[in-house]
Chain A
């Protein structure tokens, strides 16, 4: 029966759609032929959702092409509804595969700093890591190594070695300095083992984040001897060793060695230490983690929990706000996206934008470190600001450049949606856009993006042009009344309109062009609300689970360093449900991710067939 239906839909799509959307033409970059062969269909979830919207709203096939009957449309939608919308993720058990990936430029600098006990400020020397659709720059499939980058590694590492081990003529670098970067105790060199061997054992283990194999050890000892025999000074040969290690693939890449078996396997303790440290710190494991890995104790749940708590308190965990939250919520773009004109906007300084980003990063961290519920993202009644931001917010009594916790009780602000960084990156320069803000809330914050706009919307722009005197709200209403646009704009616009009291840089404004602002909104289900406080309330009442699920998804993707796949949805759902019993607390989320199957298990081969991992998520 189901199979029959599938064949029917297959035939319908072939006769109405494949003329344009097949392997050869791929009009609009849509290839239904290959999408139909890719199973389960949810592997192309977004594309299928788009197909469903187009079929449902009769945007496709185009008017001049043969049209399916109503029954045929219904049959297509019915089948897709079952295969895509109601796909049973719980039947999929699959931990995924974390491919090797190079460190991001930031991770590279932080790791080298920790390894050499230095503090390198050299990020500027790298070209910007570009990001693909996933949004995080630690995603494996966007981290390339091109010849130009290799050149950059060589010159950056050269600078690092010069900075960490400055050479003076006729003065030898004390051995203790070298011993320290190998994690050796100072007098270790007196035993039988040649000291260079002891150094390499320690240094390579730290640099490669796992014990160095005999082959690697032999390779480095051999070359060191060659250098020395050719007359190279001891310090120079040591510097060369450090250089070679820092440009080697085992340092530049995060590598997990495959086991022989084709089944899912538990990653070893060294791999776990690295996954943990790059997730929570964006750098290499420290001494404690290495010790626990060497003792093979890190897997014990109570040991792991204690480490999570310890690591979150460490300042290195600031990257959860400065990198993870910044890239998820998009506020790291503040500064590149907003064009500053120092003549027209003398108040819009670099230091202000820096403080605005720091505000949101610090706020996010306070939720994680303070084990607050995820819902606080929306309703926290405090934030972290300095004098410059306080001035922007018109909050009195905050002096000096350092951030400090300030209560928002009795103010117009609360949570993320009251913060300047978020309000600014969801506006155009000099102008707010209710659509952009609404879309940001739906897509970025709640993970429920509206479908793509239908083709041929430009006709509407022409009509709008004749109505230049309308207020933004009236224009949007006109747009919304159009049947093709209504579905999505009914969701997006009210959210954005309720934030219209905040201008394009997050400043409060009582009126817009002398007109009072109407910040009321109505959701498609009829719920009325007004302003940020109303929005906050309806979101928490109606969309809390979406917010939690999105937070889970984003943090899991960041933790794994890869885009989530359909087989990760099971973990997302299990975790979301688990958190409901824990008041949605952030630390429980971090723990849940670290204990989850995709974090602790892996398939060593590129996975496609569902397999059974041996543990359940919490």
Chain B
């Protein structure tokens, strides 16, 4: 544990006292957007394999649906319930399941597993286009190294799409994430004239290619431009970061490789997400807390046996279905269901860790959590039934005062998750009336 990079409690307090005012928001606010548009951070925390009934619903609410008590499986989130909004009866009408559901969670499209096509650009990438020009990284895509079957499957590993056919790449190694934020590309060697040269060459190459091939060169050009912007940004910010790096151990570089302890791994990635938001390196971040059909063993949690995906099929406890490993078996449905829920609670616990970090960090007037909206949830409801309706979803944070938190929203009629995505984009100032199939933003967030 000791040699792993984390934000220590002490450094957190110290940086609070130091009033580092690191985020470059003040400078950016000058050019006239609203405060929400210039401040809001958006995040997406994805979990695979669904959630059983009872691990995502409040235990009691008052007459106006305000959360009084969460259910016992959600206990780690209890201290944060004023920052939680739980919408019920939302779904993704077009794509669902392990592969299509993951690939289209943020696009609102469908995915047929034949062509690589998620039906549209994902909401985080659209958000990055709107607000990313002011940050070093337009967006940050985090994931965890997979375990078991499907670890290399493209749709199960892809939430973010730069366009319907171009999956964004993702980072799984903590040190690489840190280096992208705080070290210059190529460690200083890359000369700007090198980039100018290859751009020039690409443009002349493009003119001689067919339409389809020219698109590929555009992809390359976009990538070079992004690097160029990042270097430019890093140059501007260099002194600021050097100062920050010295003044707090919050900026220590993580050790290479992947932490063996899964909780440390998840929390290290969460620290990086917090750091990215807090330092102003980006305002858009996705984090997959495992790929879309995770077969990771959670035996490291006391009382849990088996892989997450196997546990999600909790009604088969024989240990002899095609989803099982043939060794693990369970005494009854009840024990297996409890283990499935325990894995869900373990993830709630990690999310609580993230919320605590975000709550204690100052971000101008208010905490980082006050200025964020994070969507946390899955693309399946009950894992056993592969249910695609009433998805487990939560909105975390106050969204700069645009979210009336601490509530449950109960929809009588199924509501599409696209409505949330549209509402998010509009908060960031995107001039758009539609997202995927909807033109009806989720106004209920504020009601």
Contact = CB atoms under 8 A, between A and B. Distances in A.
Interface string A199-224: 00000000000000001100110010
Most buried by B among A30, A226, A240, A433: A240
B327 A146 contact: no
Contact of B152 (A128, A147, A158, A432): A128
Contacts of B162: 146
Contacts of B189: 158, 161, 243
Most buried by B among A100, A215, A227: A100
Interface stretch (B20-28, B167-175, B408-416): B167-175
Interface in B289-336: 297, 315-318, 320-322, 324-327
Interface of A: 26, 29-31, 44, 46-47, 99-102, 127-128, 130-133, 141-142, 144-151, 154-155, 157-158, 161, 215-216, 219-220, 223, 226-227, 240, 243-244, 247-250, 252-253, 255, 257-258, 333, 336-337, 339, 428-433, 435-436, 458, 461-462, 464-465, 468, 472, 475, 504, 604-606
Contact of A339 (B148, B198, B211): B148
Contacts of A435: 322
Contact of B212 (A31, A99, A436): A99
Interface residues of B, number: 75
Interface in B145-196: 146-149, 151-154, 157-158, 162, 165-172, 180, 185-187, 189-191, 193-194
Contacts of A31: 112
B205 interface: yes
Interface in B205-230: 205, 208-213, 216-217, 219-220, 222-224, 226-227, 230
Given A26-B110, A132-B116, A337-B149, A148 B211 contact: no
A229 to B, nearest CB: 12
A321 B254 CA distance: 37
A29 B157 CA distance: 19
Contacts of B325: 428-431
B194 A130 contact: no
Contact of A99 (B138, B152, B216): B216
B30 interface: no
B253 interface: no
Nearest to A465: B318
B56 interface: no
A244 B192 CA distance: 11
A351 to B, nearest CB: 20
Given A253-B216, A431-B325, A146 B152 contact: no
B235 interface: no
B404 interface: no
Given A155-B187, A258-B209, A219 B113 contact: no
A154 B227 contact: yes
A226 B167 contact: no
Contacts of B50: none
22 contacts: A26-B94, A29-B111, A130-B157, A130-B158, A141-B165, A144-B169, A148-B171, A148-B180, A155-B185, A223-B197, A247-B198, A249-B217, A250-B201, A253-B217, A258-B208, A461-B315, A462-B315, A465-B316, A465-B317, A504-B326, A605-B210, A605-B211
Given A142-B154, A150-B227, A100 B148 contact: no
Contact of B116 (A141, A150, A249): A141
Interface in B396-432: none
Interface in B324-370: 324-327
B95 interface: yes
A193 B16 CA distance: 65
B326 A430 contact: yes
Given A128-B152, A154-B227, A219 B200 contact: yes
A354 B59 CA distance: 52
Nearest to B227: A150
A131 B326 CA distance: 28
A132 to B, nearest CB: 5
B406 to A, nearest CB: 36
Contacts of B151: 336-337
B210 A244 contact: no
Most buried by A among B94, B230, B320: B320
Given A127-B169, A144-B166, A158-B190, A258 B210 contact: yes
Given A146-B223, A148-B168, A336-B152, 7 more contacts: A247-B198, A428-B326, A429-B148, A430-B325, A465-B316, A605-B211, A606-B211
Nearest to A472: B320
Contacts of B138: 147
A147 B113 contact: no
Which 4 pairs of residues, A with B, have the shortest CB-CB distance?
A431-B326, A147-B226, A150-B223, A130-B154
Interface in B53-79: none
B204 interface: yes
Contact of A145 (B111, B154, B219, B327): B219
Contacts of A606: 210-212
A495 to B, nearest CB: 16
Most buried by A among B114, B162, B168, B171: B114
B127 to A, nearest CB: 16
A38 to B, nearest CB: 12
Contacts of A151: 180, 185-186, 227, 230
A131 B152 contact: yes
Contacts of A475: 320
Interface of B: 94-95, 100, 110-114, 116, 138, 141, 146-149, 151-154, 157-158, 162, 165-172, 180, 185-187, 189-191, 193-194, 197-198, 200-202, 204-205, 208-213, 216-217, 219-220, 222-224, 226-227, 230, 297, 315-318, 320-322, 324-327, 385
Contacts of A132: 116, 154
Contacts of B152: 128, 130-131, 333, 336
Nearest to A603: B210
Nearest to B158: A130
B210 A252 contact: no
Nearest to A605: B210
Nearest to B189: A158
A148 B198 CA distance: 17
A147 B227 contact: yes
Given A146-B169, A155-B185, A258-B209, A430 B226 contact: no
A87 to B, nearest CB: 18
A142 B167 CA distance: 9
Contacts of A250: 201, 205
Given A145-B220, A155-B186, A430-B326, A248 B169 contact: no
Contacts of A468: 318, 320
Contact of B223 (A149, A223, A458, A465): A149
A244 B197 contact: yes
A154 B166 contact: no
Nearest to B138: A147
Given A132-B116, A151-B230, A465-B316, A227 B193 contact: yes
A130 B153 contact: yes
Nearest to B217: A249
Most buried by A among B146, B168, B201, B230: B201
B322 A99 contact: no
Given A130-B153, A336-B151, A243 B168 contact: no
A252 B220 contact: yes
A386 to B, nearest CB: 27
Given A144-B219, A336-B152, A244 B186 contact: no
Nearest to A232: B191
Most buried by B among A215, A433, A465, A604: A465
B222 A147 contact: yes
Nearest to A130: B154
Nearest to A344: B327
A46 B158 CA distance: 24
Most buried by B among A161, A337, A464: A337
B116 A337 contact: no
A54 to B, nearest CB: 16
